[in-house]
Structure 1
Amino acid sequence: MTASSAHRSDPRLLVWLALRLKGLGEIDDVAAVHGLEPDEAEWLLAELDAAGHCMFREVGGVPKFILTPSGRDDGEAALAEELDAAGARDVVTGVYHRFLGLNPKMLQLCTDWQVFPADRPAAGGDTAPGDGNRLNDHSDADYDAAIIRRLEALHDELAGVLDALTSVLARYENYLARFADALAKLHAGDLDYLTKPMMPSYHTIWFELHEDLLATLGINRADEAAAQQ
């Protein structure tokens, strides 16, 4: 199956899934996950609200939405139905396990971005006890550049994962563009775009892709963690 013949999701399901990934989502952020227009996302959210599948909240004067328990359950059922109707379960399950193989690389990369390794000499050349707790202040451009090169290599591996997903479910198409945008902003010098939360950083999008796969396959994070021990 090619990307052009991949199953295309109902926009209502796309909005539900985006809201699941965001937790408490603003209209523009919900729309951006799958590349919808904000106006379309807004009226679809209004439909979900009217059906009791999500709730509207105003936080600091900004309209935000959150799934209700019934909305969360109904959405998971719709995802499972779509997965089987598209004949995509085996592919997505296989890709999920490939993604899990990449996940430790991403976690270590993010740790190294935020905290210097214990064996790295401090300023002046001495390695002090507990040096691994020194936060990376991003004053060492070579150190940061080495981590970004690791991210580029991981990005190439991730592209293969996303290609496999988009061959069966077209809703995964927008992920690679979002990852590429975060990587481009890193190259442009905006260092927040690797790990900073509450913005479309590389790590934020990675977390959302992970949650997307879990929701699609009906896997609980706690069960996943237990299975990996």
Structure 2
Amino acid sequence: MRLKGLGEVDDIAAVHGLEPAAVETLLAELDATGHCMHREVGGVPKFILTPTGRDDGQAALAAELDAHAARDAVTAAYRKFLELNPVMLQLCTDWQVLPAGHPAATDTGPGDGHRLNDHSDSAYDTKIIERLEALHLELSEVLTGLSSVMMRYDNYAPRCAAALDRLRAGELDYLTKPMIPSYHTVWFELHEDLLATLGINRADEGSV
């Protein structure tokens, strides 16, 4: 729930590859104890953590980390992830916005020189996907290290691989589109997971 914000049962279950029925039961228990609340959005139940749920969840993450003696390994993985994060952010920007000087980036308004990528230049898109493939290999090393100390990180690698496969197959939404399991969606959730697990405030991240 922390990673999804306001999430549906299936979406919450997908984060760590759990069965939706089991997650639904757990959510009902958390709702009954005041750790989460649900609301109907378009007739679909969605769940969100309460302040109590967030605090208790944070404590549970810290306890899990110490129980697995994994703090050093997760911290090392997080620091490597931080090195990769600007690469991912630039890649996403380049996917969405054509650079000044690109043949298609003309007549866009005074002094702008940029325009949204309409994906009509397949060669341009292919180069960005190739950059993502290289980044994916580096992320895979990070995820392997995480999975070796805490099993709940196992599902990030197949989710990233699935998004990349769909992107290669021509489903262009699977790089940056929110609200679907795009590569950026999974990347963002991994980032939030690492912050939550290590008890780091996103606002203070630059000082870590």
Band of TM-score, shorter chain: over 0.9
Q: Secondary structure at the match of 1:167?
A: helix
Could you tell me which of 128, 131, 140 is aligned with 1:159? 140
Distance 1:84 1:176 in 2: 23
Does 1:35 find its partner at 2:17? yes
What is the Cα deviation at residue 20 of structure 1?
0.5
Aligned 8 A contact 1:122 1:131 in 2? no
TM-score (norm 1): 0.87
CA offsets 1:64-110 (integer angstroms, 9 cap, x no match):
00000010000000000110111000000011000000000000000
Alignment partner, residue 91 of structure 1: 73
| Whole-angstrom distance in 2 between the partners of 1:75 and 1:155 | 29
Does residue 101 in structure 1 map to residue 86 in structure 2?
A: no
Which letter does structure 1 place at the counterpart of 2:167? Answer: L
Letter in 2 for 1:59: V
User: What's the Cα RMSD here?
Assistant: 1.3
The separation in 1 between residues aligned to 2:127 and 2:111, in whole angstroms, is: 24
Match of 1:215 in 2: 196
- The amino acid that maps onto 2:194 is L
How far 1:117 moved relative to its partner?
A: 1.2
Q: 2:19 corresponds to which letter in structure 1? A: E
Gaps of 5+ in 1: 1-18
| CA deviations over 1:114-165 (Å, ceiling 9, x no partner) | 00112323368xxx84213x00000000000000000000000000000000
**Is 2:45 the counterpart of 1:63?**
yes
Q: Which whole-Å CA distance do the structure 2 matches of 1:178 and 1:51 have between them?
A: 31
Is the Cα contact below 8 Å between 1:27 and 1:64 reproduced in 2? yes
SS in 1 for 2:3: helix
C-alpha separation in 2, matches of 1:120 and 1:224: 35
After superposition, the C-alpha distances for 1:177-214 in whole angstroms (9 at most, x for unaligned) are: 00000001001110000000111000000000000000
Structure 2 counterpart of 1:53, one-letter code: H
Displacement after TM superposition at 1:168 (Å): 0.2
Structure 2 counterparts to residues 171-210 of structure 1, below 5 A: 171-210=152-191
Higher RCO, Cα 8 Å, sep 6+ = 1
Distance (Å, rounded) in 2 between the aligned partners of 1:123 and 1:35: 41
Cα distance, 1:123–1:74 mapped onto 2, change above 3 Å: closer
What is residue 131 of structure 2 aligned with on the other side? Answer: 150
2: CA distance, partners of 1:87 / 1:50 = 32
**Farther-moved stretch of structure 1 (113-122 vs 101-110):** 113-122
- Structure 1 runs (4+) deviating above 4 angstroms are none
- 34, 41, 51: which is aligned to 2:33? 51
Mapped to 1, the partners of 2:148 and 2:93 lie a distance apart of 32
Counterpart for residue 7 of structure 1? none
Name the amino acid aligned to 2:74: V
Q: Which residue identity is paired with 1:87?
A: A
